[in-house]
Structure 1
Amino acid sequence: MEYQHNPVMLKQLISSLFNKNLNILSKNEKKIFVDGTFGRGGHSKELLKFISPNSKLFVFDRDPQAILEAKKLSLIDNRVHVIHACFSSMREELYNFGVLKNIDGIILDLGVSSPQLDQANRGFSFMRNGPLDMRMDNSCGMTIAKWLSSATLEEIYKVISKFGEERHAFKIAKKIVAVRQLHPINTTNELVSCISDVIKNNKPGKHPATKTFQALRIFINKELEELSNTLPTAIDILKPGGILAIISFHSLEDRIVKKFYNKVSNIDPIYKKIPISDINIPSPVAKKLKKITPDKDEIKLNPRSRSAILRILQINS
């Protein structure tokens, strides 16, 4: 079955990579881009429409199914180079291609993709019953079911509280521990049942399992750690004038991106305390260009885009 994925803020993201109107873009320049989260290739395929025949696009993903889709694209477009790896390994992977410091733009579309949510056997969705997996790369590592079977009450509580910002975290953790003593929690429905037994009066329109599923997914895939490790690498391997465009979907991700962008686009506060002349103060590494959110039309067509935030950073020349 083909699973559709509607890329969020497609035109805005592609325009931001060139920092200009796409209608006046020259297609003759050789450029190098990186899509760190290929998914089903929505952003990559659109980007390929606007770059020259001698340009290169390196695409990363840790999901084997996404890599299969990327390889299909590379067979019909030799500008595409496919790398099955986390985006945090960008520097090491791209070093072999000799493109470090020559990259024009990097895209990161964070979080889980629509196909991952829509496939019950991936275990990401509380709306579909399936094995409780949640691994982005389901060819290796521990499933969330396996982790829940042995984690302590304190460990489960901390994960749900920290990565889900769930105020009922302790009650949910306690319920999980109680239920697993009766039987293993191996399916998404079994986990949803634990959560629903605890959260009785949730806000209308928001499923009671939303925050817990988010927390467990972020934890088992080390998503925030991946992001934090990648940001310094990204600005270090971009060329002067290069663009870093990141789409985030929840406050934990966006907080990390926003804090990092603020840090590298401002003079280090420590220099305000040192009696040296302005001429000796290092300039900021980059500048923030804009923050973009989906318009009403996009949210109507693609409700999953409603919480998305696109932040743009440009390396100073």
Structure 2
Amino acid sequence: MRLSLRQLQIFLAVCDHGSTAAAAGSVALSQSATSAALNELEHLLSTQLFDRVGKRLVINDNGRLLLPQARQVLDAAASIEQQFSGADAALAVNLRLAASTTIGIYHLPQLLAGFSAQALQAKPRVLIANTSDVATAVANFAADIGFIEGPCDEPDLLVEPWITDELIVVCAPGHALLATRPSRKKTAENLIDLPALSASAWLLREAGSGTRVAVEHALLPHLHTLNCAAELSNSEAIKHAAAAGLGLACLSRVVVADMLALGTLVELHTALPPLQRHFYLVLSKHKILSSRLAHFMQFCRTIQLLMALACPSTAKHSHL
């Protein structure tokens, strides 16, 4: 067999850096040696893996086909080395994580801080994207494990329930729905009825977002339609738009906790039932589970107490 692990390593480095010159440092080779190794790999496979665009190398369809296979092969080789090296399984060095936006911004930092206390040399690489992109990254072996906040239809992924998140409806203090309420206390006479909510303007995430799917799943059975005033690509933008009076928003309580405390947002007490959504762990069905990844996943499964400290309001609904 003429194909080598080193060639696959160089191929992945070029994918990550976009040129042989930029990739050379990460594989401890000169630019010319890196370029020669890539040319040899393309010759062995009788195909070009990149399109040459000026000085940049842009991965093409052939390269995208090879990419998940190359990652899997190198992961398997690394697992074999670790298995016989006596390395501490707790050292999850260079784990590649992907998380959807709410988890990545509000939950993952606490998760990694807790894990770092056990694995002092842990240096994870984190991609934060919407649920659809996270699932794709895990399916293509660009990430070892993913954290998502919406349903996943990728056939090659294992989807494991993780924790439960509380969703609430918020608006600006001067919103018209509050004008006729005698107070902001949660009493029967202060509840916003469903027709009023259905007629209101809503601020929503973009298609492909786990938050968008969760909000529609929670609200549409009761309101039947959502009058979208604007689509915004992250929850931070939505909560600031809501505070500016552009519409209602249904967001995770942890996302809006700061603005609720400041009084720039108000929680609406509505006739809706309690709104919740699940967060999930996703892993490729074909992923070789190294000891370091298994250790990290076990830590994630026992993280309920850490989540409770970081977000008490959602912890009471959390499950493992």
Q: Which has the higher contact order (CA 8 A, sep 6+)?
A: 2
Q: Same fold (TM over 0.5)?
A: no
Q: TM-score range by the shorter chain?
A: under 0.3
TM-score, L = length of structure 2: 0.25
Structure of larger gyration radius: 2
- The structure that is strand-richer by fraction is 2
